[in-house]
Amino acid sequence: MLLEELFFQIGIVLIIAAAISMLMYRFKQPLILAYIITGMIAGPSVLALTHGSEVFDVMSEIGVAFLLFTVGLGLNWRNVKDVGGIAAATGLGQVLFTSIAGFIIATLLGFEPVTAIYLSIAFAFSSTIIIIKLLMDKEDLDSLYGRISVGFLLVQDFIAMIILLALGGFSSGATLDQVLVGTMAKAIVLVPLLWFISAKIVPRLLRYVAKSQELLLIFSIAWCFLIAGGLVALGFGIELGALIAGVTLSSSMYYREINARIRPLRDFFLIIFFIVLGTQLSFESFAATIIPTALFSAFVLIGNPLIVMLIMRGLGYHPRTGFLSGTTVAQISEFSFIVIAAGIAAGHLGEPALALTTAVGLVTIAGSSFLIEHNEVIYEKIKWMFKWLEPDNMLAIERLRSHKASSVLLFGYHYTGKQLLKTIRTLKKPYTIIDFDPQVIRKLSEAGEPSVYGDAGDENFLEELKADHAKLIVSTIPDLVISMSLLTFLKSRKFKGVSIVSVHTFEDAEKCYKLGATYVIVPSALSGKKFSEILRKKKTGKREWNALKKIMEGV
């Protein structure tokens, strides 16, 4: 193929991708949908622009490698301990139950056992990239359900690493017993080697290359190819090699900088990966999978949230938290396509499996984006369906009845609440901490703090709490629904005290002021305003800033 012809093919494909992406962006849909549709249009079934398939295939492999490399960068072993039992239990439980249910659905639809296994595994994982992006856009990344969601995504990524290891064994034609034994043997060798490289070799190399940002970039790319290439030579797959290459750098202080510099490369080559996936599809192949697509999409969009909700309810969480967390797993991930592509490469699957996975991806990614964006509003409209799941508040109520109404109520302990508690103690007034996270309440109770598990938006709970008898109410939960529910209750009881709530935007703040809020915290605006005041007072004196730094370090 002539160089000019290849250049124009890539150029035309990217122009089509850009045009469709702008359309998807206009309708607030993930751009991954645009890339797959681009592939279908540019592929042999429509325009037949991708004659240089070998070049496109190599570029898509690089995209997968960079994707898993960046995933590995986020898999810091120490972060797993910080995630807590809830994320581990939810992550493992959701993957297990979704895989079992997915296998049963696939079998009932007439798929062969091997195909059913691949599909059930592919549909058990959620998109880390899409979820974190949507949670960041909503400013919910630090909310209770946001922290739990990120936690079990991390657990999912660890499970994905193990599955990639097993798929590498299956692709070589090994039996199940051989794969299990081989996977265990490889893990026994890999884990100590991985620890030695990340603890002893990587820090010394990074201290040297980090002196130059350009050198850090080229070193990171080279490290990805070195580790991946070495593991391929030992019989592993490129995907697992790239993932492990990222893991070896994940404990470094430079991993965020590496991630930021690799991301543009990853995004470009990943675009090619999804375009190549699209070229393998035709509109006729979608027509043949309408019923399986509808059933699997319904399962992922409805079944996955229900599974997460039930698991979290079993761990003591309110169904609202479970529902909000569950909406973040209502789509399939980039890893799903990697699993199916590996099955096709191994000769275990054909084009129908890829067409089905892509169709389910199109539906669930679009659907889950809507679910996550509007999950609080949706829950408020359907919460009557989950009344039977709501926890019995009798224990909390009995505990409340044994105490007098507190003068100060602090709703939400995470981050802001934790800092405010230090000031609240200085008021020398009876106070109570209310949080929706049973683990937080357990720790506070063990520390001897007056605390109660409860929902700030539940009128019955607020009544038992005697919230309207308090003198000062502070809610650090930046949730408009909860803030408005709390203020509506206080307004109905003609509350005379000070009510302070939190929201994300000035528009939401105006709604709260209309309901009688004394003050509304908008975290981004408050932090900027506070810094402006400090800057005005301290100005540029280094001594004053050092003194302020010591104060903040002691907080």
Instruction: Write the pLDDT tens digit of every residue in 280-300.
Output: 776 676 667 788 888 999 999
How far is CA 146 from each of CA 142, 149, 323, 414, rounded to the nearest angstrom? 6, 5, 12, 12
> Predicted confidence band at 218 (pLDDT cuts at 50, 70, 90)?
very high
Say whether both 182 and 211 belong to one domain.
Answer: yes
Say whether both 334 and 452 belong to one domain.
Answer: no
CATH number at residue 240: 1.20.1530.20
What are the backbone dihedrals phi and psi of residue 474, each rounded to the nearest 5 degrees, phi first? -125, 120
Tell me the average pLDDT across 306-327.
85
Say whether both 236 and 131 belong to one domain.
Answer: yes
Measure the CA–CA gap between 448 and 454, rounded to whole angstroms. Answer: 18
Q: Is residue 27 part of a domain?
A: no
Say whether both 93 and 176 belong to one domain.
Answer: yes
The confidence score (pLDDT) of residue 541 equals 54
Whether 310 has a pLDDT exceeding 80, the answer reads: yes
Which of 324, 337, 395, 339 is CA-nearest to residue 365? 337
The last residue of one of the domains, among 361, 386, 411, is: 386
Measure the CA–CA gap between 491 and 516, rounded to whole angstroms. Answer: 7
How far is CA 26 from each of CA 14, 330, 333, rounded to the nearest angstrom? 18, 22, 22
Tell me the average pLDDT across 182-205.
76
Estimate the share of the chain in helix, then strand, then coil, as percent rounded to the nearest 5. Answer: 75, 5, 20
Bigger pLDDT: 338 vs 108:
108
> Predicted confidence band at 107 (pLDDT cuts at 50, 70, 90)?
very high
Whether 539 has a pLDDT exceeding 60, the answer reads: no
Whether 554 has a pLDDT exceeding 70, the answer reads: no
Which of 94, 97, 88, 96 is CA-nearest to residue 158? 88
Say whether both 145 and 96 belong to one domain.
Answer: yes
Instruction: Provide, rounded to the nearest whole percent, the portion of the chain with pLDDT above 90.
Output: 5
Collapse the DSSP code of 437 into the 3-class scheme (helix H, G, I; strand E, B; otherwise coil) and give the result. Answer: coil
Measure the CA–CA gap between 32 and 204, rounded to whole angstroms. Answer: 38
Measure the CA–CA gap between 31 and 365, rounded to whole angstroms. Answer: 10
What strands, in cross-sheet order, belong to the sheet with 451-453?
451-453, 431-435, 408-411, 472-478, 498-502, 519-521
Q: Is residue 244 part of a domain?
A: yes
Whether 308 has a pLDDT exceeding 80, the answer reads: yes
Range of the domain at 406: 395-521
Q: Is residue 12 part of a domain?
A: no
The confidence score (pLDDT) of residue 18 equals 92
Whether 343 has a pLDDT exceeding 70, the answer reads: yes
Bigger pLDDT: 71 vs 261:
261
Whether 116 has a pLDDT exceeding 80, the answer reads: yes
Say whether both 291 and 142 belong to one domain.
Answer: yes
Say whether both 282 and 306 belong to one domain.
Answer: yes
Say whether both 353 and 407 belong to one domain.
Answer: no
Query: Looking at 479-532, which runs of residues are DSSP E strands?
Result: 498-502, 519-521
Amino acid of residue 299:
F
Which sign does the torsion angle of CA 137, 142, 146, 150 carry?
positive
What's the pLDDT tens digit per position in 468-493? 888 888 888 888 888 888 899 898 88
Whether 530 has a pLDDT exceeding 60, the answer reads: no
* DSSP characters over 243-302: HHHHHHHTTSTTHHHHHHHHHHHHHHHHHHHHHHHHHT--HHHHHTTHHHHHHHHHIIII
Q: Is residue 116 part of a domain?
A: yes
Q: Is residue 5 part of a domain?
A: no
Which of 114, 127, 455, 81 is CA-nearest to residue 304? 127
Residue 159 · residue 91 · CB < 8 Å: yes
Measure the CA–CA gap between 64 and 48, rounded to whole angstroms. Answer: 24
Tell me the average pLDDT across 12-16.
89
* Mean pLDDT estimate for the chain: 79
Which sign does the torsion angle of CA 52, 57, 62, 67 carry?
positive
pTM assigned to the model: 0.69
Instruction: Provide, rounded to the nearest whole percent, the portion of the chain with pLDDT above 70.
Output: 82
The confidence score (pLDDT) of residue 22 equals 92
Say whether both 341 and 432 belong to one domain.
Answer: no
The last residue of one of the domains, among 333, 361, 386, is: 386
What's the pLDDT tens digit per position in 360-404? 888 888 888 888 888 888 888 888 888 777 765 444 444 544 545
Q: Is residue 499 part of a domain?
A: yes
The tokens for 386 are 């989950």
Largest CA distance in the chain: 84
Q: Is residue 462 part of a domain?
A: yes
Say whether both 355 and 234 belong to one domain.
Answer: yes
Q: Is residue 26 part of a domain?
A: no
The confidence score (pLDDT) of residue 84 equals 61
The confidence score (pLDDT) of residue 105 equals 92
Tell me the average pLDDT across 514-532.
73
Number of domains in the chain: 2
Q: b vs e for 239-248, b when ≥16 Cβ sit within 10 Å of the residue's Cβ? A: bbbbbbbbbb
Say whether both 319 and 427 belong to one domain.
Answer: no
The tokens for 157 are 């990524």
Say whether both 61 and 187 belong to one domain.
Answer: yes
The last residue of one of the domains, among 386, 412, 442, is: 386
